[in-house]
Every structure is written in C-alpha cells, then in structure tokens.
C-alpha cells in the first residue's frame, strides 16, 4: 500500500513542478526506495512478559521487545509496527488488515500457535510472508507445544533464542524483500 501512496504523491508533485521531479523515471526510482513495512504481532499473555514467571520467559518486557524490533527494523531499512492482543479474533483482524498495509509479519501467536486453525487460515488467505517466533524452544517443552498450526503457512520458524528471535525474524524478512 505504501508504494501506491508514494507513487500518487510523486505523480502529484510531477504535475506541480516537473522541473524538480523531472521524469517518470524519477517516479519509479522513488517508488522502489520506499521502506518495506513489517507488522510484529504478539498473542495472548505476552503482555505479561517481564512481570511474571521470569524463570521461564525472562525479565524482558513486551515494551522492550517492541523497541528492539523498531530499532532492528530501522537498521535493516524496515518500517515496523507492533500490535499485541489476548483475543484470537483481534489477531485475525490484524492479519487481514496487514494485506495492503504491510509487506510481512513476525508472529508470536503464544498458545494459539498450538490450537488455532483460524489463525492458520487467516495467514494463508493474505499471502504475506510470515515468520513464526517463540521466545522459548517449544520443541524442548511439553508435547502439546510441539505442534504449530502456524508453521505450515509460515516461511520459517525461530524459537529458543528469547527476544533476539524477533531481530532474527526481521533479518530473514529483509532478505526476502531484497530478493523481490
């Protein structure tokens, strides 16, 4: 979507001042320099990070993680927007709205990872690259955490590296955008 608006803005500028903006070629160059946008989507209970069970999930808060994502995104040339919800439907609405607004999603769906066919269907429907992230190594925990409904519709899964996993996911998405 941002490409579209940049293009519109430059077309308007072209009409106003062709001496400054020159040619259609400039317009195409400007369009391709727009920063890709990534949605960081966190699910249920992740708002509690850093406040309870630090022995399992560490002392890092959700606000710390979101700042880390904005900073890591800036270093990679990505615009980053963050959203957290404890509600499956609100997460699905965000995934639908991401189509046309963002170019990719970093998703920690929390416990919905292991239960939600609805989130899986939402991801499949928007056809955006999604990187699945978990703070903990879900494969080293209880067997009910080994199954992910997100994994089959994600381009990859990163788990077990704590908050750093979000930065790794952004790095992976930056590579995907660079290849386009």
**Taking the complex as a whole, how short is the minimal distance between the CB of residue 57 and ligand CA2, in angstroms?**
4
State which residue, 22 or 54, has the beta carbon closest to ligand CA2: 54
**Taking the complex as a whole, how short is the minimal distance between the CB of residue 36 and ligand CA2, in angstroms?**
24
Q: Cα separation of 142 and 30, whole Å? A: 50
Q: Which of residues 49-78 bind ligand CA2 (CB under 6 A)?
A: 49, 52-53, 57
Q: Are 57 and 99 in contact (CB under 8 A)?
A: no
Contact call for residue 97 and ligand CA2 (CB under 6 A) = no
Determine the length of the chain: 180
Please choose, from the candidates 99, 113, 146, 133, the residue with its C-alpha nearest in 3D space to the C-alpha of residue 44. Answer: 113
Structure token digits, residue 167: 């930065």
Q: Are 150 and 115 in contact (CB under 8 A)?
A: no
Size of the site for ligand CA2 (CB under 6 A): 16
Structure token digits, residue 118: 């609805």
Stretch that binds ligand CA2, among 16-24, 103-111, 115-123, 170-178 (CB under 6 A): 103-111
Structure token digits, residue 106: 């970093």
Per-residue binding string, ligand CA2, 138-157, x by CB under 6 A, is x------x------------
Contact call for residue 111 and ligand CA2 (CB under 6 A) = yes
Examine the residue annotation and report whether 21 is marked as an active-site residue of this protein: no
Q: Among all residues, which ones are annotated catalytic?
A: 57, 134
């Amino acid at each position: 979507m941002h490409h579209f608006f940049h293009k519109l803005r430059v077309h308007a500028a072209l009409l106003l001042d062709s001496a400054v903006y020159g040619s259609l070629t400039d317009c195409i160059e400007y369009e391709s320099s727009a920063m890709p946008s990534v949605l960081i989507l966190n699910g249920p209970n992740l708002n509690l990070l850093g406040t309870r069970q630090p022995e399992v999930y560490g002392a890092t808060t959700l606000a710390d993680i979101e700042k880390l994502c904005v900073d890591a995104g800036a270093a990679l040339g990505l615009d980053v927007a963050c959203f957290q919800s404890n509600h499956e439907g609100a997460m699905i609405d965000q995934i639908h709205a991401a189509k046309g607004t963002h170019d990719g999603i970093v998703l920690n769906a929390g416990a919905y990872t292991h239960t939600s066919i609805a989130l899986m269907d939402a991801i499949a429907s928007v056809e955006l690259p999604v990187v699945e992230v978990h703070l903990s190594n879900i494969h080293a925990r209880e067997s009910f955490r080994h199954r992910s409904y997100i994994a089959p519709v994600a381009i990859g899964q990163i788990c077990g590296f704590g908050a750093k996993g979000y930065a790794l996911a952004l790095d992976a998405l930056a590579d995907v955008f660079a290849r386009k």
